[in-house]
Amino acid sequence: MFNPEEINSLIRSRRSVFADQYVPGKKIPDEIIQQLLENANCAPTHKLTEPWRFTIFTGEGLKKFAEFQSELYKKNAGDKFKQDKYGKLATTPLLCSHIIAIGMKRNVSVPEMEEIAAVACAVENMYLSTVAYGIGGYWSTGGVTYDEEAKSFFGLQGDDRLMGFFYLGYIQTPSVKSMRRPINEKITWIRE
């Protein structure tokens, strides 16, 4: 049996912690990353399709990721190219311990929305695990997430989707307290 108050505290402590809040150069042990992924693998999934696919970048792999996304952006941005965005794509990954690319392997036996929801649940499991391990993380759908040309770099094809990146590091600067509005503003009870 789990202590409900500890579970409530864990869930309510979840925050996005961004790369500029990480301790520079401090690496999370791969064993902890493996545990985050094991927890992700326990997400609910209709018909057990288990659509989540993860590509993990660390060490020199972070440079490879940074170069890939910044150069693909530069290649495809055209008139919308911004030097500061290019620079951020090239440098932000280097502030992280690990980056996990989040993919969805499409299975047509279930509606796509259910596959997307399953992957999102897997990411939430990773998010909650970061709190338990005292590390920071955030899910970004920026960069090359929606660039069809990027999919193959992460082992995805056809109707598969690249759903973003989970950035990880040790926390140097804690995130601020939640600014969420009370739940009672967002619910309706129907009792009769």
What digits encode the pLDDT tens for the residues 172-184? 987 777 888 999 9
Question: How confident is the model over 142-157, as a mean pLDDT?
Answer: 96
Mean pLDDT over 87-104 rounds to 98
In this predicted structure, the answer to whether residue 99 has a pLDDT above a threshold of 80 is yes
- Per-residue pLDDT at 179: 85
Mean pLDDT of 133-145: 96
Query: 70 pLDDT band (50/70/90 cuts)?
Result: very high
Output the average pLDDT for the chain: 96
What pLDDT is recorded for position 95? 98
For the chain, what percent of residues have pLDDT higher than 70? 100
Q: Token pair of 108, please?
A: 């047509």
Q: What is the pTM of this model?
A: 0.95
DSSP 3-39: -HHHHHHHHHT-----GGGBPTTPPPPHHHHHHHHHH
Q: Please give the C-alpha separations between residue 98 and each of 86, 151, 170, in angstroms, as whole numbers.
A: 20, 19, 10
Which residues are within 8 A (CB) of 150 and not within 5 positions of it... i.e. 6 or more apart?
Answer: 68, 69, 72, 144, 162
DSSP state of 159: T
Q: For residue 186, how many other CB atoms are within 10 A of its CB? A: 8
Question: What structural domains does the chain harbor?
Answer: 36-173 (3.40.109.10)
Residue 168 binned pLDDT confidence (cut-offs 50, 70, 90) = very high
Find the range with the poorest average confidence among 33-42, 113-122, 168-177: 168-177
Q: Residue 173's pLDDT is what?
A: 82
For 152-167, how does the pLDDT look when each residue is reduced to its tens digit (9 = 90+)?
999 999 999 999 999 9
Percent of the chain at pLDDT above 90? 95
